[in-house]
Structure 1
Amino acid sequence: MDILKSRRRFLMGLTAVGVFGPLTQFGLARIALAGQTQQPKLKVVFFVVPDGLAVDSATAYSSDGRGLWHPAAQEMDTDNFQLNEVSQELAAYRDQSLYIRGTILGPGNEGHNGWTWALRDREKKMTSIDVLLGQQMPGTDPSQRSLFSGPHSGIDGTAWHVSWEGAQMRRPDQDPVLMYEKIFGSTRRQVREQQARNSHVLDPVLADIKELQAQLDGAQRQKMDTQLDSVEQAIKDMENTLPPVGECSPLTLEPLAFKDAKFRTQVQNSHHQVVATALACGISRVATIQVGRSAESLNILDVSEQTNPHDCAHRYAGLDVWKKSRQWYTQRVKLFMDELARHADPDVPGDNLLAHTLIVFTSEMADGAPEHTVDMPLVLMGGASGLLKTGDGKGRYFNVTAQGDREHSGNAVIGKRFVDMQRIWATIAKAAGTSVPYTGKIDPVSGIFTNV
């Protein structure tokens, strides 16, 4: 097990030999090489917050159809729109934003079970979109294809996580310090030496598995096949691992009690730094940041010391903390985008990281009071290497109900036809140069990306 883990633990020690130092000879040479290529590579980050973003009104389900989230617009597709009380928190990035309206998650009425659908197929049986993209968009370390950051997700022992490999729910990194150590490693030898050593050590393991495989059949043979695939993938990942690229400066993170509400904001910010640094180093190109979990109970002290976020979403303590809690979640994605903007892109050093990153901001629910998943909050943001259609420098509002494939009678304000969220994932996958293996309708939604 230590051998397998070590393939992900070599990068921390590179600080000692100068790989992270942009002023060292190696660092300068690497940056110069990156500057020569100037080939942009898309990065994608899914930012998921719990219990919806208040898409309904303050007094009754769907009475005005916009609640505190959906922008006001007179046309189906326009750059003339007004942000709402919650979406206004993203005003600084309006010009890089595409607000999509008219999507549905799952059956539309599953409430807190929405986390089992959030980034997956309609049948909630297959791999989530973040993992699928990671498989096709590796960075310099293939073992880190799809980062999963979980600030305060499941710290209470309830594992409702939105990222999946097939039918297996992934466990996010909850402690940002441990996440950093896992990604960047702790050994002090050069990358190639570590790769060679690990590969040779795994050779006898691979030989033993193949010998046993020939002696088994049925379920035992199938289990051994899975183990063989895992070892072969580990060896392949080590062989394909490259040194980090770009301005890859080390982080200094303060160890905090990451389950304590007192440090909630600081821990969240540390997660942002870890993910942004990994993207800026080129180690990974895909990440998911899941803030808390559906029906989470850890108080947001910036909002209320008495009322937990789940109760805030239900308006049990009034409309003020309902709005403030939704604003706090939205402010987190704004701060994450600020973090991306502070880093140089590893492939196009003249640009910042945000210029080549697509941020997908959503929830596992539309609204936490009626607990439905109809007319989901969804905004795509960031430079996205010029692929995202965000209007002419003003941002864009896009009602996609004209392309709807699902009927639902629960929201008469914008009609009864909605776009299944799995088609949004299919569209993002195609823009990134791949596809989703989902059943049912996966036709891309037109008008979102320049290349789809």
Structure 2
Amino acid sequence: MDILKSRRRFLAGLAAVGVFGPLTQCGLARMALAGQNQQAKLKVVFFVVPDGLAVDSATAYSSDGRGLWHPAAEALDTSDFQLNEVSQELAAYKNQSLYLRGTILGPGNEGHNGWTWALRDREKKMASIDVLLGRHMPGTDPSQRSLFAGPHSGIDGTAWQVSWEGPENGGAMRRPEQDPVLMYEKIFGAVSREVREQQVRNMHVFDPVLADINELRGRLAGAQKQKLDMQLDSVEQVMKDMEETLPPIGECSPLQMDTLPFKSAEFRNQVQHHHHQVVATALGCGITRVATIQVGRSAESLNILDVSNVTNPHDCAHRYAGLDVWKRSRQWYTQRAKLFMDELAKHADPDVPGDSLLEHTLVVFTSEMADGAPEHTKDMPLVLMGGASGLLKSGDGAGRYFNITAQGDRQQEGNPVIGNKMVDMQRIWATIARAAGTVVPYNGNIDPVSGLFTNV
């Protein structure tokens, strides 16, 4: 705790002596240039909540699709739709939302193992979509290509995280930042001009490391040489990131956050809010253009005191304590997504300062599961929200419901509402990648789903 307070005092001291001043001046200069060019740059945030969003009805332990999430609509593709009891929590952003129906994650019946597929390819071999996008669309600090915020995710020691590196980086599961204060300090603690110049001066410390690695490479072969090559790539990537780091381009006013016990249920709402602030500020400064916010984890055990102080969210999802906490827990998670949208709307976009950050951000809201009682991943809850720089086809300002089963590539047991075909989620990630100007290196069907974006 003393270390955290010292770090906060350090940041406050930087602000007091004017270290943030050069940043703000630089940001204003960049904003002036952006005002001349007004070149929009897409930002993407994946907002993932655990244990589904109640897509099935209260009595169903199969994918009946008559639950509390999917909107009601008479047509397959329409702006005339009504939000459901859980999705209604996002009513404030209905007009800039695209509600998709008919997707399937993984095999469809893997329950809590859905976190291993949530943002990845069906084979679970490649990098998750957030990591891939971060490589393609970096901000001013390449070392912050893809932020990973984990409010209450894995705080109980069970690391079920949805963001993954690819095989070229060992295929490791990424660990999110759980403490928003530390996350803030890691992102913003080295953006001052003085620190940047010191980074450049200190790059020579890598020279003997590279020399040792290159000398050792000549003596190795096979798997050992491959491992060493990966280490060499990592060192070279760090050097490249340092060389390419630029000052922020937007307004970067320092955040004032309380140091809270981030594993405590008592402060759950405040800790969540601080994570929203850090991610939105990093996007608003142009430091990064991609982020993932994972709320809790699949089968999480930390109580949501707004819902119940005796029944944990996992048990709520299973309806063990009745239907009321089942519904209210799913509503609470959805409210967090709404509050994050509110936070984005408060910030100016760094590239088009006359617009809000939300106008140029695509927020992907989903879960690692469809419904937490039957524990399946069929007919997933999935909504794309935000201005997305005009790329998202969200009903021309009226909002849109789109049943995409006509483009389905996965044959499943009949769903009484949407039928027998569903779209594999990896195709959704492939489509978002195309909209952002890149492609996913996934095996199997990666045909983009048509009708989601204006440029795909």
TM-score by length of 1: 0.94
Structure 2 residue matching 1:416: 3-state secondary structure: strand
1:436 corresponds to which residue? 440
2:347 corresponds to which residue? 343
Q: Is the 8 A contact 2:35 2:353 kept in 1?
A: yes
Q: Is the 8 A contact 1:69 1:85 kept in 2?
A: yes
Instruction: Select between 246-255 and 287-296 the one with higher mean Cα deviation.
Output: 246-255
1:397 is matched with which residue: 389, 398, 401?
401
1:239 is matched with which residue: 234, 237, 243?
243
2:134 corresponds to which residue? 134
Q: Counterparts of 1:451 and 1:139 in 2: how far apart (Å)?
A: 22
1:292 corresponds to which residue? 296
Residue 78 of structure 1: CA displacement? 0.2
Matched, 1:94 2:98: no
Residue 216 of structure 1: CA displacement? 1.9
Structure 2 residue matching 1:155: 3-state secondary structure: coil
Give the counterpart letter for 1:41 in structure 2.
K
Q: Counterparts of 1:363 and 1:28 in 2: how far apart (Å)?
A: 38
Q: Counterparts of 2:308 and 2:21 in 1: how far apart (Å)?
A: 42
Change (3 A) 1:18 1:156: same
Residue 32 of structure 1: CA displacement? 1.8
Change (3 A) 1:25 1:429: closer
Q: Counterparts of 2:96 and 2:232 in 1: how far apart (Å)?
A: 45
Change (3 A) 1:64 1:217: closer
Give the counterpart letter for 2:183 in structure 1.
M
Structure 2 residue matching 1:361: 3-state secondary structure: strand
Give the counterpart letter for 2:291 in structure 1.
A
Change (3 A) 1:396 1:187: closer
1:7 corresponds to which residue? none
2:3 corresponds to which residue? none
Residue 155 of structure 1: CA displacement? 0.3
Residue 42 of structure 1: CA displacement? 0.2
1:451 is matched with which residue: 445, 449, 455?
455
2:382 is matched with which residue: 363, 378, 383?
378
Change (3 A) 1:15 1:60: same
1:172 corresponds to which residue? 176
Instruction: Select between 206-215 and 285-294 the one with higher mean Cα deviation.
Output: 206-215
The one-character-per-residue Cα deviations of 1:34-92 (angstroms, maximum 9, x if unpaired) are 32231100000000000000000012246862300000000000000000000000000
Matched, 1:183 2:187: yes
Q: Any gaps of 5 or more consecutive residues in structure 1? A: 1-9
Structure 2 residue matching 1:296: 3-state secondary structure: coil
Change (3 A) 1:34 1:72: same
CA RMSD of superposed structures (Å)? 1.9
Give runs of ≥4 in structure 1 deviating > 6 Å: 10-14
Give the counterpart letter for 2:50 in structure 1.
P
1:149 corresponds to which residue? 149
2:282 corresponds to which residue? 278
Q: Is the 8 A contact 1:12 1:188 kept in 2?
A: no
Structure 2 residue matching 1:60: 3-state secondary structure: coil
Q: Is the 8 A contact 2:24 2:253 kept in 1?
A: no
Q: Counterparts of 1:382 and 1:184 in 2: how far apart (Å)?
A: 26
Q: Counterparts of 1:432 and 1:12 in 2: how far apart (Å)?
A: 37
Change (3 A) 1:153 1:350: same
Structure 2 residue matching 1:220: 3-state secondary structure: helix
Change (3 A) 1:225 1:391: same
Q: How does 1:8-19 map onto structure 2 within 5 Å?
A: 15=15, 18=18
2:42 corresponds to which residue? 42
TM-score by length of 2: 0.94
Residue 218 of structure 1: CA displacement? 2.3
Give the counterpart letter for 2:289 in structure 1.
R
Q: Is the 8 A contact 2:277 2:343 kept in 1?
A: yes
The one-character-per-residue Cα deviations of 1:109-128 (angstroms, maximum 9, x if unpaired) are 00000000000001111110
Structure 2 residue matching 1:200: 3-state secondary structure: helix
Q: Counterparts of 1:108 and 1:64 in 2: how far apart (Å)?
A: 14
Q: Counterparts of 2:22 and 2:85 in 1: how far apart (Å)?
A: 42
Residue 247 of structure 1: CA displacement? 1.3
The one-character-per-residue Cα deviations of 1:224-257 (angstroms, maximum 9, x if unpaired) are 1111101100000000000011111111110000
Instruction: Select between 432-441 and 12-21 the one with higher mean Cα deviation.
Output: 12-21
Q: Any gaps of 5 or more consecutive residues in structure 2? A: 1-9
Change (3 A) 1:11 1:100: farther
Matched, 1:57 2:61: no
Q: Is the 8 A contact 1:21 1:27 kept in 2?
A: no
Give the counterpart letter for 1:281 in structure 2.
C
Q: Counterparts of 1:134 and 1:23 in 2: how far apart (Å)?
A: 23
Q: Counterparts of 1:199 and 1:414 in 2: how far apart (Å)?
A: 57
Residue 215 of structure 1: CA displacement? 2.1
Q: How many positions carry a matched residue from both structures? A: 443
2:228 corresponds to which residue? 224
Q: Is the 8 A contact 2:24 2:250 kept in 1?
A: no
